Structure formats: C-alpha cells, structure tokens
Amino acid sequence: MSELTTVARPYAKAAFEYAVEANAVDNWLEMLVFAAEVSQNETMEAYLAGGASVEQSQELFLKVCDEQLSSNGQNFIKVLAENERLLVLPQIATQFSELKAEYEKVISVDVTSAVELTAEQQTTLSAALEKRLARKVKLNCMVDANVVSGLVIKAGDMVIDGSVRGKLSRLATTIQS
C-alpha cells in the first residue's frame, strides 16, 4: 500500500499544482474521484490488470469517463495510461484531497464521546480546536459507550485523550513507574 502511495504522490502533486494555477481545484477533485471510482470497478480493474495495450486502456478509460473529464483531465488520464498508472487513481484522488485540505487550511477532526454532543458543545469545541490548530476544523462526531466520559479527539497524527478511561490508564502507568 505504501508503494502505491509513493507512486501516486508525484501525480497528485502535479495535478494539484495545475488545478491551483487554473483555479479549478474543486473540478479536478471531482474528476479524480470519478476516475478513481471507474478504476476500482471490477470489470475495469480486471481489464487494466489484464495486459491490454496502452492505447486500448486509454481509449476504453476515456470512453467510460467521457464528459466527466475536461480536456486537461483527459490528458492527465492519457499520461497515467502511458505510464501504466491508471490503477493508482484511488491513491492519487486521496492525496489530491489531502493537498486540497492543506491548501485550504482545513483539517478533519474525529471526536468520539460517550454521549452525543449538542450543537453548542460542537461549536465551542470547534472554536477551541481552530485556535489550537490554526486551521478551519471540520468535526466528525461519533458516539462510543466505551469512552465512559469525556472526549477522544483525533486530528491527523495528534490524539487528545480526555476520556476517563485514558486518564485512568495514564494514572496507572504513572503509579507503576
């Protein structure tokens, strides 16, 4: 999986840089997500992995995507087909989405709590996280009875465990040391 991510990175970066230049980041994201879905279709995936020629792969893929791709999007697909990278489209779309979030200074934050948060609590939490992370925050709230009390917040690599279970675990570790 990490190998596919490494292969996808330069393509995602190039597409993103072009999209920013052309002021069409949202359009490019839509095109890439659509093309990624096409590449993940069982029939298409089998065809692409089956050793079809570059020209055949290009032609079929562009016919399926047809009006969903701009001329620049079609050129991007042609380059991917020439380099036999059409199966990497899902990773390219994912990385493009991450670059877009970074560019727009938006971060997706997973918040897990024992009970559902009220709108007021979500607003307060969002404001506090925006201040701490210096980004616009998009909350994804989940309820998990195992949290017991408090919150577990995950934003990228950062985890803030403010749950009772987490506090008890840290206390036990401290006592044992």
pLDDT at 1 over 70: no
Please state, rounded to an integer, the average pLDDT across all residues of the chain.
Answer: 84
**Residues facing residue 153 across a β-bridge:** 111, 160
* Residues across the chain: 177
Q: What confidence score (pLDDT) does residue 36 get?
A: 87
Whether 59 shows a pLDDT value over 70: the answer reads yes
The angle subtended at Cα 1 by Cα 140 and Cα 106, nearest 5°, is 30
Enumerate domains of the chain plus CATH numbers. 2-102 (1.10.520.20), 106-176 (no CATH)
Strand arrangement of the beta sheet that strand 151-155 belongs to? 136-143, 106-113, 151-155, 158-161
- Pairwise CA distance, residues 64 & 155, whole Å: 37
Q: What is the pLDDT of residue 120?
A: 92
52 versus 138: the higher-pLDDT residue is: 138
* Mean pLDDT of all residues in 111-139: 87
**Closest by CA position to 95, among listed 40, 42, 158, 28:** 28
| Each residue's pLDDT tens digit, 105-124 | 888 889 988 888 889 988 99
For residue 2, what pLDDT band results from cuts at 50, 70 and 90? Answer: low
- pLDDT higher than 80, residue 99: yes
Residue 126 near residue 137 (C-beta atoms within 8 A): yes
SS3 152: strand
Mean pLDDT of all residues in 25-32: 88
Rounded Cα distance between 105 and 130, Å, is 10
